[in-house]
Structures are given as C-alpha cells and as structure tokens.
Amino acid sequence: MKIISAELVATAADFPDFPKDGLPQIALAGRSNAGKSSLINALCGTKSLARSSQTPGKTQLLNFYRINGAFYLVDLPGFGYARVDPSTRFKMEVLLHNYVKEAPELRGLLYLVDSRVTDSPVDHQALEWMLDCERPVLVLAAKADKLKKLALQASLAEIAKNHGLPETPLPVSSSDRTGLDALWSQLMLLIAPD
C-alpha cells in the first residue's frame, strides 16, 4: 500500500464531532498499551502521526486519521486502563459500544492483543462483545517481535483457544514490520466497495 497522505482530521469525544464525509472507517481497538497508535504509525510509514507512549491510557478520545483521502484508521481509547476514574471510564465504554454498534461508515475492527498476553480478562470481555457485533473483526497479535518463532506460535494458539477465536490471530510488529503487508491486504478487502 503506497501512502500518499496521512492526516489527523478529528480528535473527538462523541458522535457530533466525528467526520461526516462518509469515507469508510477501520477502527483499532485493544487494551491500553497493546500498540494501537504504534501500528497506525507503522502502517503509514511514519513515527509521529499517532501519539504512542510509555504511559498507558494516553489515547482517551477517538482519533480519526484520513489515509490517502480515501478512508480512515480510527485509534480508539484503550480498554481496561486502571487509572482512569470510574465515571470517565464508564462514559468511554458507552461511547465505544455505541460507535462499534452504530457507526455507519465502520467497515471493520482490528483488535490488538499483545502477543505475550494470552489470557487477559480485559481482552476476553472486549472480544466477546465485539465478535458479537456482526462487524468483521480481525484479531492481531501485536509486538510479535518480542517472541521467538516457536514461542510466538504457541502464544497464537493459546490466544485463539482462550478467547474462542475462529482462527489464530495475525502476528504483527510495528518494530520489525512483521505482518504489515498481509494486514494491508486484509484492510483493502474491508475498505473495497461492496
């Protein structure tokens, strides 16, 4: 995929502020610190488009990145960040549910699981309702560079088993670019007009 332009078009807390140009959207979800913002940067071949950080919970709003003027990658707030106060967290969860269930332009979801974390209850709960939403969900095993080949294979199988996935997750790495070409191919299929 050749990236001609990638721009942050909206940072929005609720539906009225989301882009209204009707372009297809693909959203990235996952636990806080799973690597969502880093993956957006890696997919776009830049280091600084989406803010990634060592501090979990950095992304608390929905960030809409318009790619090649043709579609959006949407960076969702991370799930399960403990230090967000309960009322903020509740509001964020309601917003995420509504967005995933109702956004008309949403073509699919990428759910990022850390390759090394096979049994997170937060992932389990999030995947349970997302897989139930009748949207395409592609589960990614992020930070795949952190595991050696055999350990990674074992981890992928465990993740699929523990979360009841129909297939093993696609391993990706923003650091060494593992899986990014395969991921772009899948994204193109989701974005293509029906």
Ligand X SMILES: Nc1nc2c(ncn2[C@@H]2O[C@H](COP(=O)(O)OP(=O)(O)OP(=O)(O)O)[C@@H](O)[C@H]2O)c(=O)[nH]1
**For binding to ligand X (CB under 6 A), which residues are involved?**
30, 32-38, 52-54, 56-59, 78, 142-143, 145-146, 173-175
Selection from ligand X, Mg ion, none that 66 binds (CB < 5 to 8 A by kind) is none
**Which tokens is 170 given?**
């696609």
Q: Does 174 bind Mg ion (CB under 5 A)?
A: no
Window 45 to 84, contacts with Mg ion (CB under 5 A):
59
Q: Which of 121, 120, 113, 109 is nearest to 152 (CA)?
A: 113
Selection from ligand X, Mg ion, none that 120 binds (CB < 5 to 8 A by kind) is none
Q: Does 37 bind Mg ion (CB under 5 A)?
A: yes
Selection from Mg ion, ligand X, none that 53 binds (CB < 5 to 8 A by kind) is ligand X
Q: What is the DSSP string of 21-59?
A: S---EEEEEEBTTSSHHHHHHHHHT-SSSS---SSTT--
Query: Which residues on neighbouring strands pair with residue 171, listed in sequence order?
Result: 141
Rounded to a whole number of angstroms, the minimum distance from the CB of residue 53 to ligand X is 5
Selection from Mg ion, ligand X, none that 56 binds (CB < 5 to 8 A by kind) is ligand X
Residue least distant from ligand X (Cβ): 78
Q: How many CA atoms lie within 13 A of 22 on its CB side?
A: 1
Q: Which segment (13-21, 30-38, 106-114, 131-139) binds Mg ion by CB under 5 A?
A: 30-38
Of 21 and 85, nearer to ligand X (C-beta) is: 85
**Which tokens is 80 given?**
């399960």
Q: How do strand 106-114 and strand 170-171 relate by DSSP bridges?
A: unpaired
Rounded to a whole number of angstroms, the minimum distance from the CB of residue 123 to ligand X is 12
Distances (CA, A) of 162 to 74, 84, 123, 170: 27, 27, 10, 16
Count interface residues toward Mg ion (CB under 5 A): 3
Rounded to a whole number of angstroms, the minimum distance from the CB of residue 194 to ligand X is 30
Q: Which residues contact 194 (CB under 8 A, 6 or more apart)?
A: none
Residues near Mg ion (CB under 5 A) are 36-37, 59
